């Protein structure tokens, strides 16, 4: 430790202190020298600046003296004679060369003096040379000093000629002073007459008095009497000073002030003198009767020039030199000090190495003993003393064999831990044995051998091994430990129990004895792969594994392999799990699942059979009760018609119950199919509100829907299922609400479970009776209501909410309920918000119309013929739009509505038939007249109610007749008169039909309707039956008296079914009676060409285009045959009924038929097979219609059977049947359309 103190006794900070001292001393001396130099340089610079200012002042004086000499030189002209001509003046002034030799002077001029009484004489003398001369400013004065000559005679100086110098006070004072004194005088600052508005400067004039030749001028009075005029020089002060300074202008900040006005600078355009300049001087100059103040300051350029000269040395360079010198001295001292320290450190290290070694041995956690070749202990650390139960001092000098017997023997027995380790046993001071791990290292020192022993206490490891063996023995799984050759090293008790061997029979035996012979080859492959990649893995998850019991039977097992290492030996641990009980449980679960599948199949078969068995008689009940309530023969009383209507409604309720039960069963079985499609949520809600608003009005409730701004207009979901959910919730709310309202609110918000998912929320809120919280879950269960009185009071089966919730879950969402008794209910439907992809928007070409009037669309690739048609159309008051391709025509139809369309079949891009099909599929253009003019003959069997076919060439007279007929139709073809009392429903109907292309006139009362009908003709009337004051039928009678309703389509809407008497009154018109609960699509169907004719209450004058045609009706149910036959009879068809497939084939082979109706639910799948045989084996060319049992949604999801042309839903509805027959009559067979 003393050496270490000596090592640090030097002063390592000395080089740093010396370096800093030198830097501070040299730096201070350099700074002081630089300061002295700066003071001397500043004095020299100030002196230089004073000399420069003096030079500026003297230059200014000399320049003004030179200008005075110029004036005195010109005054010599007048010494010999007063009569100096203009030529003499010009000759003398030109010789002066003012611009070259006297820069800064603006002009020199001669002014003649005259008193008022002599002015005319002076003017006459001046004008003798023929000059046009005038005096300004005008006015009478006692004295005049008029400018006669000026040089140079440029455009500026010409303005001075004729000016009276005595008319202005400043000039007059200087002139009078010069005349009276007889010396040149300067004026005060003034504006020269030569100045313009641009670059204006302050000016001064220097006057030299002229006296008459020979006149005495000694006294003041003599000079005043002899005064003849002046010579004066005009100066612009800024230009004058620039001329004085010359190239030095940028070196000085300069300004000039007149003593009479010290605050007004004379040098216009020059910046004020900066107070921050390094040098600043002010001089007072008195010249020619004026006192000026000259203010001069240095500029940065001038100061930069001064700084470049006059300095003996640079401060930065001097300081750098001082710094380098200080660092050089300090570096030398530092290197010297470091060399001394290194030499001391090496000596100390040599001295401390032995002490460090002793400390290292002492601090080792392993018991370490150093002994001589005689076996005597020389050194022992504290760990060895603790292990052997003694102290380090007592161990020194003892024999090693006393504590570790046999440690230094040449042959040592015992298991080796590593290459240089072995297990042994040490003896403590008290004689107790301690298991240790011994490591021996020998080395030579001073020609003698020494031994270093490391002893590791194995007591804790032995205890851990014993604990591990106990855990392995207690494990419920079998443990098998084997080496890389596959020989068993260790097993536990569970292994003996699982395989039937005792432990001694398994040790050192191949593990293959526990594996069945059929799996040993696979085991060898697995062991080989495990040896190449030893990592933990499980076996038996993808295939069944078995172990072999001692008695030979197989035990199902799962095996987990893990690599282990014991010294240099690599072992494999196999954990074998007995899964016999689990296999038995799995067999029981499979058996139960099979039983459930069988039960579910029986349930599905039962529901299918029950559906068919219930629908079959219900089909006949609905058809026949519908015919009875229509009372087409008018042979039933009103009471009987009402009873038939009750039967029909009850049948419909039963049909809805069957559909609900089937939907519920389909959802529970997981067979519900979802058809995702884009849908307009606003349109869907508007349709629901329009359909259910009459129900709300009947209960005295208000029904409103509201959509938040952030909700997308177009979504992707199953429209039919979403409509079913909302209809169930809204009807449920209307049913259980007596007063108040039902509100529908649509919003969207972030999902709680996923940050990047938005949920659509549709909340249906009512002010009804409310639901207790303990009943919230119960009402969503099938066939459950709050209590039995609910079904008695309000009706219902308790399926609506159950189906709604399960449908919402199928769509990926759910339904939440918030309600309390007496506070109403709020049902919230939550669905994942999927926004419909925005279709690519194609830019449409703006329509170019020709002419005025109703629009005519001409789709024709022949431009000449299109122009001819357009000219004829214009002569009849039509405007026209010409399109050369089919796509252009479709674009035009998408943008506007036309009175008629002229269409060619052969177009360059797409067929005209395709354009015709798209046009007729659009509700806006279904009633638009179409004239097909083509060179192609009309296809055989083709017909269209609103189209005519003309073959080219078309005569002019035929075109004229075409447009005459069109003019008569165009006036009222799309006019619609809407008579509705409810404002909201009237608005919805108006917007809906305007989107379809109708021009809607709306009325609220019958008086307004009469006035509107008297003023215009209408193609369609939509009349509310429940009008105030009179019913809708009375209004129709009044309108018919105004103008017959023969060609007008009429739709009568009512809240309740019409009586038989009112139905008979309605038959007088081309009318349809619709309930207000029915959707707007029923109105669209009624306005189509076959809509009115397909209604059960149509006019008696209905046309029957299929009259007399034969229909083959195939159905196994006689009741259905009877009911459907009655409906077909009303259409004027001859029905041939059969009940089996074989009978149907036989009758078809014998007779000729125009239509075949086949029930798909024939026994043994006979319906589809019969259709296939009729189409393929019997060559049937007439339309075949398949009849299916189910709901609208189910039938829409069902594929059309092979060979069938259409599908008809059972129970058969009269309107749908009529529309189907009309559609088949138009198509004229399965392949008749062009």
So what's the pLDDT on residue 1233? 34
Instruction: Report yes or no on 139 lying in a domain.
Output: yes
Task: Looking at the structure, tell me whether residues 554 and 407 fall in a common domain.
Answer: no
Is the per-residue pLDDT at 108 higher than 90?
A: yes
Separation between Cα atoms, residue 973 and residue 953, nearest integer Å: 29
Query: Mean pLDDT, to the nearest integer, of 284-292?
Result: 91
Is the per-residue pLDDT at 309 higher than 80?
A: no
- Choosing from 1094, 1114, 1136, the residue where a domain stops is 1094
What residues contact 707, with CB distance under 8 A and at least 6 apart? Answer: 681, 682, 685, 746
For 169-203, b/e burial (b = at least 16 CB within 10 A) is: ebbbebbbbbbeebebbbbbbbebbbbeeeeebbb
State the DSSP H helix or E strand holding residue 1126, giving kind and residue range, or none if neither.
helix 1118-1130
Task: Looking at the structure, tell me whether residues 232 and 151 fall in a common domain.
Answer: yes
What pLDDT digit, counting tens, does each position of 340-382 carry? 888 778 877 777 777 777 777 777 778 888 888 888 888 888 8
Task: Looking at the structure, tell me whether residues 782 and 656 fall in a common domain.
Answer: no
Instruction: Report yes or no on 842 lying in a domain.
Output: no
Q: What angle do CA 664, 670, 673 make, to 5 degrees?
A: 85
Handedness of CA 951, 952, 953, 956 (dihedral sign): positive
Cα within 13 Å of Cα(1222), Cβ side: 20
Q: Does residue 798 or residue 96 have the better pLDDT?
A: 96
Instruction: Report yes or no on 78 lying in a domain.
Output: yes
Q: Which of 425-439, 507-521, 576-590, 655-669 has the lowest mean pLDDT?
A: 655-669
> DSSP secondary-structure letter at 511?
G
Going through 1004-1048 in order, the beta strands assigned E by DSSP cover 1020-1024
Is the per-residue pLDDT at 756 higher than 70?
A: no
Separation between Cα atoms, residue 305 and residue 397, nearest integer Å: 95
Separation between Cα atoms, residue 917 and residue 1234, nearest integer Å: 10
What average pLDDT is seen over the chain? 80
Collapsing DSSP to helix, strand or coil, 219 comes out as: coil
Handedness of CA 983, 986, 991, 994 (dihedral sign): negative
The answer to whether 988 touches 690, Cβ cutoff 8 Å, is yes
Separation between Cα atoms, residue 515 and residue 234, nearest integer Å: 133
Task: Looking at the structure, tell me whether residues 918 and 1009 fall in a common domain.
Answer: no
Task: Looking at the structure, tell me whether residues 106 and 212 fall in a common domain.
Answer: yes
The answer to whether 702 touches 696, Cβ cutoff 8 Å, is yes
So what's the pLDDT on residue 609? 65
Separation between Cα atoms, residue 78 and residue 389, nearest integer Å: 145
Task: Looking at the structure, tell me whether residues 566 and 630 fall in a common domain.
Answer: no
Separation between Cα atoms, residue 584 and residue 587, nearest integer Å: 5
Collapsing DSSP to helix, strand or coil, 963 comes out as: helix
Q: By C-alpha distance, which of 320, 316, 339 is closest to 328?
A: 320
- Choosing from 797, 832, 867, the residue where a domain stops is 832
Query: Mean pLDDT, to the nearest integer, of 788-811?
Result: 68
Task: Looking at the structure, tell me whether residues 795 and 942 fall in a common domain.
Answer: no
Structural domain including 571 reads 462-578
Task: Looking at the structure, tell me whether residues 172 and 120 fall in a common domain.
Answer: yes
Separation between Cα atoms, residue 1195 and residue 1190, nearest integer Å: 6
Separation between Cα atoms, residue 642 and residue 646, nearest integer Å: 6
For 377-388, b/e burial (b = at least 16 CB within 10 A) is: bebbbbbbbebb
Separation between Cα atoms, residue 960 and residue 214, nearest integer Å: 121
Q: Residue 671 — very low, low, confident or very high, per pLDDT cuts 50/70/90?
A: low
Instruction: Report yes or no on 756 lying in a domain.
Output: yes
Task: Looking at the structure, tell me whether residues 865 and 733 fall in a common domain.
Answer: no
What pLDDT digit, counting tens, does each position of 846-891 carry? 777 887 767 889 999 888 888 888 888 888 878 889 998 988 888 8
* Phi, psi (rounded to 5 degrees) for 231: -110, 130
Sort residue 42 into left (φ over 0), alpha (ψ -120 to 50) or beta: alpha
Instruction: Report yes or no on 1132 lying in a domain.
Output: yes
Helix, strand, coil shares, percent, the chain, to 5: 45, 25, 30
So what's the pLDDT on residue 1102? 35
Query: Mean pLDDT, to the nearest integer, of 172-187?
Result: 93
The answer to whether 820 touches 773, Cβ cutoff 8 Å, is yes
CA distances from 925 to 695, 900, 974 (A): 33, 9, 10
The answer to whether 554 touches 548, Cβ cutoff 8 Å, is yes
Collapsing DSSP to helix, strand or coil, 1063 comes out as: helix
What residues contact 21, with CB distance under 8 A and at least 6 apart? Answer: none
What pLDDT digit, counting tens, does each position of 1176-1228 carry? 888 888 889 998 876 554 444 456 777 888 888 887 877 778 778 877 765 55
DSSP calls for 560-611 = EEEEEEETTEEEEEEEEEE-HHHHHHHHHHHHHHHHHHHHHHHHHHHHHHHH
Per-residue three-class SS string for 812-825: CCEEEEEECCCCCE
Task: Looking at the structure, tell me whether residues 723 and 861 fall in a common domain.
Answer: no
Is the per-residue pLDDT at 791 higher than 50?
A: no
Query: Mean pLDDT, to the nearest integer, of 979-1003?
Result: 82
Segment of 179-183, 213-217, 1036-1040, 1053-1057 carrying the highest mean pLDDT = 179-183
Q: What's the order of all strands across the beta sheet hosting 421-427? A: 377-380, 367-372, 448-457, 433-445, 421-427
Q: Does residue 1068 or residue 838 have the better pLDDT?
A: 1068
So what's the pLDDT on residue 943? 67
What pLDDT digit, counting tens, does each position of 56-79 carry? 888 888 888 988 898 888 888 876
The answer to whether 187 touches 207, Cβ cutoff 8 Å, is yes
Domain of 542, CATH number, reads: 3.30.450.20
- Choosing from 562, 578, 594, the residue where a domain stops is 578
Task: Looking at the structure, tell me whether residues 557 and 658 fall in a common domain.
Answer: no
So what's the pLDDT on residue 420? 58
Instruction: Report yes or no on 13 lying in a domain.
Output: no
Collapsing DSSP to helix, strand or coil, 826 comes out as: strand
Domain of 698, CATH number, reads: 3.30.565.10
- As a residue count, the chain comes to 1234
Segment of 123-132, 841-850, 1112-1121, 1208-1217 carrying the highest mean pLDDT = 1112-1121
* Phi, psi (rounded to 5 degrees) for 535: -145, 155
Query: Mean pLDDT, to the nearest integer, of 91-109?
Result: 83
So what's the pLDDT on residue 1? 43
Count of the separate structural domains present in the chain:
7
Per-residue three-class SS string for 65-120: HHHHHHHHHHHCHHHHCCCCCHHHHHHHHHHHCHHHHCCCEEEEEEEEEEEHHHHH
Instruction: Report yes or no on 43 lying in a domain.
Output: no
Is the per-residue pLDDT at 92 higher than 80?
A: yes
Domain of 1114, CATH number, reads: 3.40.50.2300
Is the per-residue pLDDT at 735 higher than 70?
A: yes
Separation between Cα atoms, residue 1085 and residue 1219, nearest integer Å: 9
DSSP calls for 442-459 = EEEETTEEEEEEEEEE-H
The answer to whether 762 touches 746, Cβ cutoff 8 Å, is yes
Separation between Cα atoms, residue 209 and residue 675, nearest integer Å: 118
> DSSP secondary-structure letter at 998?
-
| Beta pairing, strands 488-491 & 478-483 | antiparallel
So what's the pLDDT on residue 230? 94
Residue 13 CB: number of other CB atoms within 10 A?
A: 9
Per-residue three-class SS string for 631-695: CCCCCCCHHHHHHHHHHHHHHHHHHHHHHHHHHHHHHHCCCCCCCCEEEEHHHHHHHHHHHHHHH
What residues contact 40, with CB distance under 8 A and at least 6 apart? Answer: none
Separation between Cα atoms, residue 1162 and residue 1164, nearest integer Å: 7
The answer to whether 443 touches 453, Cβ cutoff 8 Å, is no
Q: Does residue 118 or residue 351 have the better pLDDT?
A: 118
Query: Mean pLDDT, to the nearest integer, of 1049-1067?
Result: 78
Model pTM?
Answer: 0.38
Instruction: Report yes or no on 844 lying in a domain.
Output: no
Task: Looking at the structure, tell me whether residues 451 and 470 fall in a common domain.
Answer: no
% of the chain exceeding 70 in pLDDT: 86
Q: Which of 683-687, 799-803, 1105-1109 has the lowest mean pLDDT?
A: 1105-1109
Domain of 215, CATH number, reads: 3.30.450.350
So what's the pLDDT on residue 411? 38
So what's the pLDDT on residue 1091? 40
Is the per-residue pLDDT at 1234 higher than 50?
A: no
């Amino acid at each position: 430790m003393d050496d270490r103190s000596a090592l640090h006794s030097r002063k390592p900070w000395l080089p740093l202190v010396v370096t800093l001292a030198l830097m501070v001393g040299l730096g201070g001396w350099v700074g002081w020298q630089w300061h002295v130099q700066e003071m001397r340089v500043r004095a020299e610079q100030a002196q230089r600046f004073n000399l420069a200012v003096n030079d500026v002042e003297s230059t200014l004086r000399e320049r003004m003296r030179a200008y005075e000499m110029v004036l005195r030189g010109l005054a010599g002209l007048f010494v010999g004679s007063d009569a100096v001509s203009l030529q003499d003046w010009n000759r003398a002034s030109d010789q002066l060369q003012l611009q070259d030799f006297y820069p800064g002077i603006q002009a020199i001029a001669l002014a003649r003096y005259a008193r008022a009484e002599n002015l005319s004489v002076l003017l006459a003398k001046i004008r003798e040379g023929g000059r046009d001369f005038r005096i300004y400013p005008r006015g009478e004065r006692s004295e005049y000093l008029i400018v006669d000559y000026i040089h140079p005679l440029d455009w500026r100086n010409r303005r001075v000629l004729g000016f009276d110098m005595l008319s202005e006070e400043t000039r007059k004072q200087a002139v009078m002073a010069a005349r009276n004194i007889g010396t040149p005088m300067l004026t005060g600052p003034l504006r020269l007459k030569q100045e313009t508005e641009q670059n204006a400067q302050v000016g001064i004039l220097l006057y030299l008095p002229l006296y008459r030749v020979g006149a005495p001028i000694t006294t003041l009075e003599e000079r005043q009497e002899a005064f003849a005029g002046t010579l004066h020089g005009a100066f612009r002060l800024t230009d004058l000073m620039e001329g004085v300074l010359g190239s030095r202008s940028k070196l000085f900040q300069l300004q000039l002030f007149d003593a009479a006005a010290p605050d007004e600078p004379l040098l216009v355009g020059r910046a004020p003198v900066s107070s921050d300049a390094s040098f600043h001087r002010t001089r007072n100059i008195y010249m020619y009767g004026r006192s000026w103040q000259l203010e001069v300051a240095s500029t940065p350029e001038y100061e930069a020039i001064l700084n470049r000269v006059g300095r003996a040395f640079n401060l930065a360079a001097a300081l750098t030199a001082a710094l380098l010198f200080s660092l050089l001295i300090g570096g030398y001292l530092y290197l010297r000090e470091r060399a001394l320290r290194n030499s001391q450190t090496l000596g100390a290290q040599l001295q401390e190495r032995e002490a460090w070694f002793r400390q290292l041995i002492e601090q080792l956690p392993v018991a370490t003993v150093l002994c001589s070749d005689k076996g005597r202990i020389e050194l022992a650390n504290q760990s060895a003393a603790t292990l052997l139960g003694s102290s380090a001092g007592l161990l020194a000098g003892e024999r090693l064999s006393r504590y570790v017997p046999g440690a230094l023997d040449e042959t040592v027995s015992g298991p080796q831990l590593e290459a240089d380790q072995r297990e042994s046993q040490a003896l403590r001071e008290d004689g107790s044995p301690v298991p240790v791990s011994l490591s021996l290292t020998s080395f030579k020192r001073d020609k003698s051998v020494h031994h270093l022993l490391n002893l590791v206490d194995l007591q804790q490891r032995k205890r851990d091994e014993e604990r591990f063996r106990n855990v392995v023995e207690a494990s419920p799984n079998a443990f098998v430990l084997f080496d890389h050759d596959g020989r068993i090293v260790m097993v536990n008790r569970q292994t003996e129990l699982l395989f039937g061997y005792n432990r001694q029979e398994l040790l050192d035996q191949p593990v293959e004895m526990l594996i069945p012979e059929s799996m040993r080859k696979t085991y060898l492959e697995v062991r080989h792969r495990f040896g190449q990649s030893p990592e933990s893995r499980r076996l038996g998850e993808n295939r069944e594994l078995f172990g072999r019991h001692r008695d030979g039977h197989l035990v199902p097992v799962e095996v987990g392999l893990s690599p282990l290492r014991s010294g240099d030996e690599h072992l494999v641990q196999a954990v074998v799990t007995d899964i016999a009980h689990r296999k038995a449980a799995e067999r029981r679960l499979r058996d139960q699942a099979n039983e459930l599948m069988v039960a579910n199949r029986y349930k599905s078969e039962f529901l299918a059979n029950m559906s068919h068995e219930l629908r079959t008689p219900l089909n006949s009940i609905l058809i026949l009760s519908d015919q009875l309530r229509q009372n087409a023969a008018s042979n039933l009383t009103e009471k009987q018609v009402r009873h038939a209507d009750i039967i029909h409604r009850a049948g419909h309720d039963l049909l809805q119950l069957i559909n609900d039960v089937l939907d519920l069963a389909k959802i529970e079985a997981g067979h519900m199919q979802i058809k995702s499609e884009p849908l307009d949520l606003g349109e869907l809600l508007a349709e629901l509100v329009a359909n259910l608003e009459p129900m709300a009005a009947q209960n005295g409730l208000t029904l409103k829907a509201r959509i938040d701004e952030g909700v997308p207009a177009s979504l992707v979901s199953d429209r039919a299922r979403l409509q079913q959910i909302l209809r169930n919730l809204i009807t449920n709310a209307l049913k259980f609400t007596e007063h108040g309202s039902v509100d529908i609110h649509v919003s969207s918000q972030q999902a709680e479970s996923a940050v990047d998912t938005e949920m659509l929320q549709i909340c249906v809120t009512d002010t009804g009776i409310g639901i207790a919280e303990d009943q919230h879950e119960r009402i969503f269960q099938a066939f459950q209501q709050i209590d039995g009185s609910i079904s008695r009071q309000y009706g219902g089966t308790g399926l609506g909410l159950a189906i709604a919730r399960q449908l919402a879950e199928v769509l990926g969402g759910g339904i939440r309920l918030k309600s309390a008794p007496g506070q109403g209910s709020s049902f919230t439907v939550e669905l994942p918000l999927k926004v419909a992809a925005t279709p690519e928007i194609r830019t449409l070409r703006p329509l170019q119309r020709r002419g005025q009037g109703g629009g005519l669309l001409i789709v024709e690739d022949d431009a000449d013929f299109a122009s001819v048609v357009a000219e004829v159309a214009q002569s009849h008051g039509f405007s026209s739009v010409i399109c050369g391709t089919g796509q252009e025509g479709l674009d035009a139809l998408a943008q506007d509505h036309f009175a008629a369309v002229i269409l060619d079949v052969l177009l360059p891009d797409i067929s005209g038939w395709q354009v015709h099909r798209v046009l007729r599929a659009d509700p806006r253009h279904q009633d638009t007249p179409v004239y097909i003019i083509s060179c192609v003959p009309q296809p055989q069997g083709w017909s269209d109610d609103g189209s005519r076919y003309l073959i080219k060439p078309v005569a002019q007279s035929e075109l004229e007749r075409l447009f005459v007929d069109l003019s008569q139709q165009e006036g009222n073809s799309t006019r619609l008169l809407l008579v509705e009392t409810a404002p909201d429903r009237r608005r919805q109907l108006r917007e809906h039909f305007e989107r379809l292309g109708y021009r809607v006139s709306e009325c609220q009362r019958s008086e307004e309707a009469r006035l509107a009908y008297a003023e215009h003709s209408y193609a369609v009337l939509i009349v509310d039956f429940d009008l105030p004051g009179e019913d809708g039928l009375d209004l129709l009678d009044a309108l018919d008296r105004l103008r017959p309703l023969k060609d007008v389509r009429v739709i009568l809407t009512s809240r309740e079914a019409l009586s038989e008497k009112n139905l008979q009154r309605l038959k007088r018109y081309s009318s349809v009676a619709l309930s207000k609960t029915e959707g707007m699509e029923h109105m669209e169907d009624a306005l189509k060409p076959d809509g009115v004719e397909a209604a059960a209450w149509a006019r008696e004058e209905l046309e029957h285009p299929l009259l007399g045609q034969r229909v083959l009706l195939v159905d196994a149910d006689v009741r259905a045959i009877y009911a459907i036959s009655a409906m077909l009879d009303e259409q004027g068809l001859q029905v041939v009924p059969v009940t089996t497939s074989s009978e149907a084939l036989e009758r078809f082979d014998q007779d000729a038929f125009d239509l075949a109706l086949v029930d798909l639910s024939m026994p043994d799948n006979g319906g589809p097979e019969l259709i296939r045989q009729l189409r393929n084996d019997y060559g049937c060319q007439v339309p075949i219609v398949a009849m299916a049992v189910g709901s609208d949604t189910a039938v829409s999801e069902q594929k059309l059977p092979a060979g069938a042309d259409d599908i008809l839903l059972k129970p058969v509805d009269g309107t749908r049947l009529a529309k189907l027959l009309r559609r088949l009559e138009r198509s004229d067979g399965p392949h008749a359309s062009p």
